[in-house]
A and B are shown apart, each in its own frame.
Chain A
Amino acid sequence: MNATTAAPKTPVKDVEKDASMQKQKAMMAAHYDRLTDAPQTGAKVCSTFVPGNLNELIGCFDLLNNLPEVNAIQNGLRRTSGQFVLEAEKIGHSEDVCTYVKSDIGMMAKGNLAPNGRKFPNPDVLLLSYTGCFTFMKWFELLREQYKCETIMLHTPYMGDGKVTPNMLEYMVKQLKEEVIPKLERVSGVKFDIDRLRERLKKSAQAEDDLVYVLKSARNRPSPIDAYFGGIYYIGPIFGAFRGTEDAVEYYKFLRAEIDARLAAGMGPVTPEGDMGKEKYRLVVEGPPNYTNFRQFWKMFYDEGAVVVASSYTKVGGVYDFGFRHDADRPLETLAEYCLGVYTNRNLPMRIDMLTNYLEEYAADGLLINSIKSCNSFSAGQLLMMREVEKRTGKPAAFIESDLVDPRYFSAANIKNRLESYFQMIEQRRAGARSAA
């Protein structure tokens, strides 16, 4: 062996995290422990999805919330989703099926272990409260087949006309009263208490205020946050199992103080590679990230000085930055409005409006779309949206493709090539604008 090949490789740097990320990690770990302790503690478990989740209501019945998408994301980040996807394909699911579903099915087939290495409890009830994605319905059918447990479906009408009508609200409240609440009472054995729900809704609104403050901090230059990669940490508690709890209120208060400190110090966002250097590009991103190569993906932005100042993905579990807050005075109506308003339940013109608004409000250089191979629900229409946003804002847009948790669909060289081209395109247009001026 010669000297050059024997030389040690540069060690991979440890991931840098700020205090709020550590706190969030501890919260998630505690939640997984609560879930895997359920057989011992006797706690009952409700599986439900992130968009339109009724966490405040679930909490009123002392049910623990288990989110299969979040589990798939955890498996993506931990690099185990690839084997689970293959396992699901072995069972018979085709290559094009949503990879969240396949990761979940594969995980169940491989022992159904939580990130803490212990077995997930079987759910006592499946609560499907958002129907903007039809795959969710099929996914729950598969879970029902597996667990043979009670299934509740709250049908959320799609906002095809771009607005919530009184009929829609009435329809949903009726379902909550006649279907959802009675079944949850039956499964949990806990009587519904509307004042308990009001208490939780108040806490939700408090946390939501602080979250919006944090997201809007990206209007500063430099932005103290990355609203896509970093944003995914920030939405974790409120989109997951913590909305309506004291834990979430505390976390967002803590996060807000941390961001205030970064703002005061004129700092950019923290990234796994360390503090962001000079902010060269400000982007709005549409679509979910890739989780199997999350750090590598983020580094491609970090290396080029690109900061995401607003993203639509951080709105899939609730759109708060246009004024909506959970309202304790209208407990059931507010739950319905929340489900109706999540990003993926909005029609294409609404999504275009949101993205256009972000580009302007956050003074971004352009729009980047990460289109997800196995998620038609998110991806359909994205090119049209892109053209329209380009037309309205005059800012350049670009399109990359990857997948949520299937590592086979992440081609690093290809994505890097497009990203670099895009950043250089922005640079070139700036130079063109300068010389024209």
Chain B
Amino acid sequence: MSQAVMKTFIGIDLGSTTTKSVIMDESSRVIGRGITNSRSNYGTAARVAGEEARVDGRFTLFRRALTESGVLNGHLGEFLAALERSFRVEQFSDQLNDLERTCLGQLKGGRFAALESRLQEALGEAFRRLRDEAPSLYAPGAKRKSDFFRDIAGARFYTHAEAVARETGFPYEVLLNCYDKSIIEVENRPPSGGLNDHFRRALARVLAVDDAIVGQAAGDVRQVIEESLELELEESYLVGTGYGRVTLPFSKEHIRSEILCHGLGAHLMYPRTRTVLDIGGQDTKGIQVDDQGIVTSFQMNDRCAAGCGRYLGYIADEMNMGLHELGPMAMKSERPARINSTCTVFAGAELRDRLSLGEKREDIVAGLHRAIILRAISIISRSGGVTNEFTFTGGVAKNEAAVRELRKVINDNYGDVSININPDSIYTGALGAAEFARRAYEGGATPEARP
């Protein structure tokens, strides 16, 4: 019997901050989504986001198959959450092993030679502690600052290495140095071993501790998962978009402008969309689409990224806060400050000046949110105004204070308009790209061979 194959269509959106990937099936249904930080290496970012989307896609297939089989009635959500946590531990451990091997590889000859045996011992101990605590990092309800390996492993490695250094008297800097020299290499390498092995080991771990799934049920679950894993996800066609698209080794046929992708993506999410606003890391786009999601007009910020996502990032840095804390702070404001300039470079000066005048932090931050929305509205009006329905996408759409201002300004200028904000709005561009891939394939395009 030949292996079952499912055709899939991949959209990759290489943004300035994050890289997103969406996998879709032949009937335009999204199977999986993946996101990673763009780093300085778009090739790696595209690969990692793609793999994340494939992992997510497998979970979608598990869910579908398990729902259909009915073996886990009432327990499905809990089981899948446990399986995912367990899978993440598998992946994390695998990358930790890789990191340890890479660190040890640094010892061969060269500057660490004199310290080799002691360093090997100290590193071994730090990694043993990291591995031991790995399951707790992914325990139910555990909070992680980030889901990216580098962020999690980095923070924990520093803690353990410092403790080991203190206990053994081995120089901390040498351990750090060893880590720093290895992390980029590891980060840019996909986890070794097949994904399927990780899924199988993760499943075994879950079944071993889950008292609700025993005997026949465990066997059934194993069989359903195994059958899902047998299904090959064929990458039938891929389309890349976003700022990094030109750096990818794709031919023109595999590349679409992010303006078209955002327009189409917003249309797929909300078919009645006619105006799309996207505020990304370094650009703001106002896009008009027709009833087919075809772009009829667009405007973008020119030359200068004033008032884009980076502006808020910069303000957060200036205030020594997390980006996600800005919105909630602005929501507390009762009298937003009037701020006209959206120049990112001047924002710091403006902020300090107003603080020194005694203005409240929340009022200033609320004023800054309003300023970027006003700038965005100016771009939209240049693109042709707002026509019902209106869809807001991009990283800034996650910021509640920005959304509040936007609703207000849209209402003042264009009256009663439906404003759509999708929880998955960050994937809008990748979604449009995936649909372009599907259509290209449907239209007879054949994918090129890629390295």
Contact = CB atoms under 8 A, between A and B. Distances in A.
A390 B295 CA distance: 14
Interface in A398-437: 398-399, 401, 409, 411, 413-414, 417-418, 420-421, 424-425, 428-429, 432
B302 A420 contact: no
B303 interface: yes
B422 interface: no
B260 A429 contact: no
Nearest to A417: B257
Interface residues of A, number: 21
Given A396-B297, A398-B298, A425-B295, A411 B260 contact: no
A429 B297 CA distance: 11
Contacts of B303: 401, 409, 411, 414
Contacts of B300: 414, 417-418
Given A417-B257, A420-B257, A421-B257, A428 B302 contact: no
A349 to B, nearest CB: 21
Residue of A411, A428, A429 with highest tally of chain B CB at under 10 A: A428
A397 interface: yes
Contacts of A424: 256-257, 260
A390 B297 contact: yes
Contacts of B294: 425, 428-429, 432
A396 B260 contact: no
B387 interface: no
Contacts of A396: 296-297
A142 interface: no
Residue of B258, B300, B302 with highest tally of chain A CB at under 10 A: B302
A418 B292 CA distance: 21
B132 to A, nearest CB: 41
Contacts of B297: 390, 396-398
A25 interface: no
A411 B283 CA distance: 13
Contacts of A414: 300, 302-303
A414 B257 CA distance: 12
B265 to A, nearest CB: 14
A421 B300 CA distance: 11
Interface of chain A: mostly helix, strand, loop or mixed: helix
B382 interface: yes
A411 B303 CA distance: 6
Nearest to B287: A421
Nearest to B296: A396
Interface in A83-124: none
Contacts of A398: 297-298
A383 interface: yes
A387 interface: yes
Interface string B116-146: 0000000000000000000000000000000
Given A387-B384, A432-B294, A399 B299 contact: yes
Contacts of A383: 382
Contacts of B256: 424
Contacts of A401: 302-303
Contacts of B299: 399
B376 interface: no
Contacts, number: 49
Nearest to A386: B297
A40 to B, nearest CB: 45
Given A411-B302, A421-B257, A428 B384 contact: no
B382 A425 contact: no
Nearest to A418: B300
Given A409-B303, A420-B257, A428 B298 contact: no
Interface in B326-365: none
B14 to A, nearest CB: 13
Contacts of B257: 417, 420-421, 424-425
Contact of A432 (B243, B292, B302): B292
A411 B256 CA distance: 20
Contacts of A418: 300
A383 B292 CA distance: 25
B259 interface: yes
Interface string B380-392: 0010100000000
Contacts of B384: 387
A285 B300 CA distance: 19
Nearest to A429: B294
Contacts of A425: 257, 259-260, 294-296, 298
A399 B243 CA distance: 19
B262 to A, nearest CB: 10
B210 to A, nearest CB: 50
A159 B323 CA distance: 54
A401 B298 CA distance: 13
A418 B294 CA distance: 16
A429 to B, nearest CB: 6
A421 B260 contact: yes
A390 B292 CA distance: 19
A399 B292 CA distance: 23
A396 B263 CA distance: 15
Contacts of B292: 432
Contacts of A399: 299, 382
A425 B263 CA distance: 11
A420 B257 CA distance: 7
Contacts of B296: 396, 425, 429
A387 to B, nearest CB: 7
B242 to A, nearest CB: 10
A428 B382 contact: no
Interface in B291-314: 292, 294-300, 302-303
Interface string B408-434: 000000000000000000000000000
A432 B267 CA distance: 15
A389 B290 CA distance: 18
A429 B293 CA distance: 10
B273 to A, nearest CB: 16
A376 B392 CA distance: 32
Contacts of B260: 421, 424-425, 428
A425 B243 CA distance: 17
Residue of B256, B297, B384 with highest tally of chain A CB at under 10 A: B297
Given A383-B382, A387-B384, A421 B298 contact: yes
A397 B383 CA distance: 10
Interface of A: 383, 387, 390, 396-399, 401, 409, 411, 413-414, 417-418, 420-421, 424-425, 428-429, 432
Please provide the 10 A-B residue pairs with the shortest distance between their CB atoms, ordered closest to farther.
A421-B257, A421-B259, A401-B302, A411-B303, A425-B295, A424-B257, A420-B257, A432-B294, A428-B294, A424-B260
Given A411-B302, A428-B295, 12 more contacts: A398-B298, A411-B303, A414-B302, A414-B303, A421-B258, A421-B260, A421-B295, A424-B257, A425-B260, A432-B290, A432-B292, A432-B294
29 contacts: A383-B382, A387-B384, A390-B297, A397-B297, A399-B382, A401-B302, A401-B303, A409-B303, A411-B302, A413-B243, A414-B300, A414-B302, A414-B303, A417-B300, A418-B300, A421-B258, A421-B260, A421-B295, A421-B298, A424-B260, A425-B260, A425-B294, A425-B295, A425-B296, A428-B260, A429-B294, A429-B296, A432-B290, A432-B294
